[in-house]
Structure formats: structure tokens, C-alpha cells
Structure 1
Amino acid sequence: MSSLCVELIDAGSYIILDAYFASKELIEELRKHNLRLITRVRISPLGKHPLPTPPLKRSRGRPRIWGKSVKLRDLFDEKDCFTKETLLLYGKMVTLRYRAIDLHWDCPLQRVRFVLAVWPEGKQIILLSTDVTLSATEILTAYSWLFQIEVTFRNLIQLLSGFSYRFWIKDMTPTQGWPKDLILSRYPKKHQQQVQTKVEAMERFVLILAMALAVLQLVSLEMPMTIWKDFPHWFRTLPCNGYPSEQIVLLTLAEQRKRILAKSTSGLLSDKILNYSIAIHETVESGAFCHMKPTV
């Protein structure tokens, strides 16, 4: 992840990631290239206070590099230090309590800003920002933008089965569970080429379905009334913004696909495929089925 961020993102940019990527190694690599990280951390990490002013006379032993440790979870008990405010998060107004505190976490020389937030239902989260100049509300708002990516992933998975590919090669020895160490250089060249071909096929599969999802979104934005008019099912309530979801657009296009394709130019491949499928269907229904070759 750090290699991708360094390669594709300009210096000075902000990177928003989920709790899986909250690691000291990632922060260290991003800091080398002047990249800022906003992420969520677990509820049980330890922060370090800055070192106090050293005494005039140095004591024996190795000098300390960290200050006093503090459990971030315990800071939720100091309710008087929290601020209550209503923010626009995840597309709606949310009233929550939050608190910001600057501590050392990955480096004894640089601090990070922790934001402790308590949601209306009582859920507690801790966010981390390597940019200590950001306010707590800015960090909370920026992290809420990550939800937009999650919605896209959900549609790709549940609506279009965008990650339903399979990865196996018959020539390779099967492993128990997911392989923990998939380093191509340790395999023969034949297997390396097969793995690269599989990865390329999976990337193309996901990319094509991402393009299909973009088409559904464009149709929803540009032709909402047409979609609602041809929608084959019934909804008890309609969305307040008036735009159909990607699933509604998909169901409408699936219901109207024959009529849409019938209007296509006769020279298009889709028209030939449709005519062939209709001919096969009519032949099967008549009981006089015979083998037909497509004319494409």
C-alpha cells in the first residue's frame, strides 16, 4: 500500500484508509515522502506523552526516549474533556461527542493527533491523523468520505458480483486454505506466466464491471424519469432525491433489454445475438428443434 501511495499520489496529499492499515511502518514510509495519513485505530492502543524537561544532572542508565504511556480507551472516561457538536457525516447530520489529543505513537520525535469520538448510540471510535494541524471536525469529516468507497465496493460485490472470480491453476499443488506466501520467483517460469495471466484476467473482470457500474450510475442521473416509468416492480416508497438506485436501473434494463436491443443498428453484434437467441427460443417452443449455427 505504501508503494502504491508513493507512486500514484502527489506529495502533500492526504490518504484516508481503514483500521487495517494503521501501522507504524506505513506511517514511517508515508512521512518520508511527505504524505499525510488519516485512519482509524483499534480501541486499545497506547499513546506516549512527550518527555518532560530533562533534569540538569543526568541519571545513570540509558536515557528515555518515550514519555508516560496512556491507554487511549481510558480517555473516554474523562467526559468533561469532550465537545458535543452536530456534523454532516455519511450524508446526514449526526450529533456526537469528540475529543482531540496529540501524543506520540509511531515516533518519539513526531506526534500524531488522536480523535476520540462517541456516536449517539454509544459506539466509541478512535481516529489518527499524522497532520496535527487538522481540527477534530476536519478529521472526522475526512474519514467519513471513506464510506463512499465502501458503497461502491458493496454495489460491485452484491449487485454485479464484481469479485466472484476464482483463482486456481491445475498444474500447481493445491494448498490448505489461502496461500500465505505467494512469491512468484519461487515458482517455475511456467507457473509464473500462468499466475500473471490469471491476475490480468481478474483485473480486467473487475475493471469491466466497474465500468458497468458507472454506466448504471450515469443512466440513473441522466434518465431518472425513464427508469421509473419502465420499472417492472412496485415500491412502497420512493427515494426523496428522485434518483433510482443502481439496482433499480439494472432491473429496469434487464426487463427492457429486448426492446432496447431491437432498436439497435442491424449491423451490431448485439442485434445478431438477439435474433439468434429469439430464433432458438421460437424453435424450441414449436417442438421442431434442430441444430442452428449462429450467423455472427
Structure 2
Amino acid sequence: MFDLFDQRERFSDVECAIYGKVETVSIASLNLLWKPTAGLIRFVLAVTKRGPIILMCSDLNQDPVAALELYCTRVRIETMFDMLKNLMGVFHYRFWTKSLERHSRKPRKNKDLKKPTSGEQMGKIRLCFAAYERFVMIGSIALGLLQLISIKYEKSVWKEFKGFLRTKSRKLPSERTVKFVIADLLVRDLFSIAPGAVIRVIQGYIFTKKIVEPEGQWSESKPKLKSTVIET
């Protein structure tokens, strides 16, 4: 496959965004039979400042420049997924419904998978999947808010930051730094004498309330929390 790079007549020079920087690359594309798939696969060959690269695509009409640019954006995508998983915990959901059939984590054959037997089960499964998506979406919005706070309130974040950094890798605080600062501010506000309105509502749910029983004795009780259940 690398012998194709010696056939310079196949390549054309174009401008392409490589990892956020525009540069001139030599690029070519051709559809070849790929034995593992028993069909045609589009191969994109490119020579950048980082060296030669070969990409594979199942779309036989894929524009080679677009394929290369999309591949180079994977760093930002992987970084975002790393933040969503390890910082925000958006993939730690535990939603389930009895309408989903039990399966092995690694089924050997797709034909062994069981499907819902009724329309009612399918409706409950859709609600369960919708809960997955909403949970991830809310976490994504929260991550975006951390990034927005980092951009708009950079100086305030660094001023309130009480942790230790050996060296600052960049001017803007990271999402993790912003989360650390906000968490610390919320805890301080939670136990302050005059908390904000939102914290007062949270305190009403967290802290126990003392009530007087008919006998005149004090007892502690916690307010009941309303919870949304997908399925009973």
C-alpha cells in the first residue's frame, strides 16, 4: 500500500486544516477491494508535514479532504469524551427497565439476542433509552458551562482557586479547575450564615428539621423527596 506514495501522478496538492493549522498536503483517493469486508473500501492517502498517512472509509463517495480534516479533529473529540467520562461522569448512569431482556456483555452471535415481545415493552425501553440520552446531554451542557465560566471569568476562577499547581500549562483554567472552584464555593455557601436562595432550597432537603410531637418531645425527621420513576 505504501508503494502508492511513489506514484506522484495520483496526488494533488490542496490546502487542508491539519490539527487546527492550515497547510498544503498531497492527497489522493482510490476505491480498492478489501478482503476482510469482501467489498470496496475508499482509501485516502495523504502526505502532511507529519508524514504519510492512510485512511479507510466505507463511503465510496467521501471527499478525501473532508475525510482527512475529520480525522484530524479526533483529538478534540477524544478530549471531550475524556472530560465527559472522567470529570463529569456522564457515562456512569444506572437506568434500567425490566422490559429489557438480559444478555451477556459479549454475546457470541447476534441471532441469540432477544427482542421485546410487546408494544408496551418497547415503549418502556424507549423511555429508558431517552433517560440515557438526557443524562448524557445534561452532563454535556454542564461541561459547556464549565468551559464558558473558564472563558468569561478567568481571573475570578484563579482568584478563588485554593489548590496547588506546579506550573500553569495555559492562561485559561481547565474544566477540572473550574469544577474544583465551584464545588468549593458551593460548600462554603452551604454552611454560611446567610446563604443564597438556591442554597437555602438545598438546605431544606439536606438538613433535618425539628418538629414538636404532641407529647412535647423533640424529634428529627427528614422531608420526603419526590423521585421520578420510569417504571413501577
- TM-score (normalizing by structure 1): 0.53
Do residues 155 (structure 1) and 86 (structure 2) align? no
Distance 1:142 1:171, change over 3 A: closer
**Kept in 2: contact 1:221–1:243 (CA 8 A):** yes
Structure 1 segments unaligned to the other structure (5+ residues): 1-71, 281-288
Q: Does structure 2 conserve the Cα–Cα contact (< 8 Å) formed by 1:213 and 1:246?
A: yes
Task: Quickly say closer, same or farther: Cα 1:246–1:123, change in 2 above 3 A.
Answer: farther
1:130 to 55, 61, 75: 61
1:164 aligns with 2:92: yes
Partners of 1:89 and 1:127 in 2: how far apart? 17
Q: Is the CA contact 1:98–1:115 (under 8 Å) kept in the aligned structure 2?
A: no
Of 99, 103, 116, which residue of structure 1 is paired with 2:30?
A: 103
Query: How far, CA to CA, are the matches of 1:158 and 1:84 in structure 2?
Result: 40
Identity, in percent, stands at: 26
Correspondence for 1:201 among 131, 141, 157: 131
Residue-by-residue CA offset, 1:251-287 (whole Å, 9 max, x unaligned): 1111111344557644x4x42323664668xxxxxxx
Alpha carbons 1:116, 1:127 under 8 Å: kept = no
| Counterparts of residues 55-70 of structure 1 (less than 5 Å) | none
| Alignment pair present for 1:229 and 2:169 | no
State whether residues 114 and 126 of structure 1, in contact with CA within 8 Å, keep that contact through their aligned partners in structure 2: yes
Verify the 8 A CA contact 1:272 1:295 in the aligned structure 2: no
Q: What is the Cα-based RMSD across aligned positions, in Å?
A: 4.2
Q: 1:166 to 1:144 in 2, by over 3 A?
A: same
Partner-residue secondary structure (3-state), 2:46: strand
Offset, 1:177:
1.9
1:276–1:193 distance in 2 versus 1, CA, 3 Å? closer
Q: In the alignment, is the contact (CA less than 8 A) between 2:161 and 2:181 conserved in 1?
A: yes
1:279/1:258 Cα in 2 relative to 1: closer, same or farther (>3 Å)? farther
Q: CA separation in 2, counterparts of 1:91 and 1:168?
A: 41
Structure 2: which amino acid aligns with 1:204?
A: R
Alignment correspondent of 1:272: 201
Gap runs ≥5 in structure 2? 34-40, 210-217, 226-232
- The reply on whether 1:188 has 2:115 as its aligned counterpart is no
Is 1:246 matched up with 2:175? yes
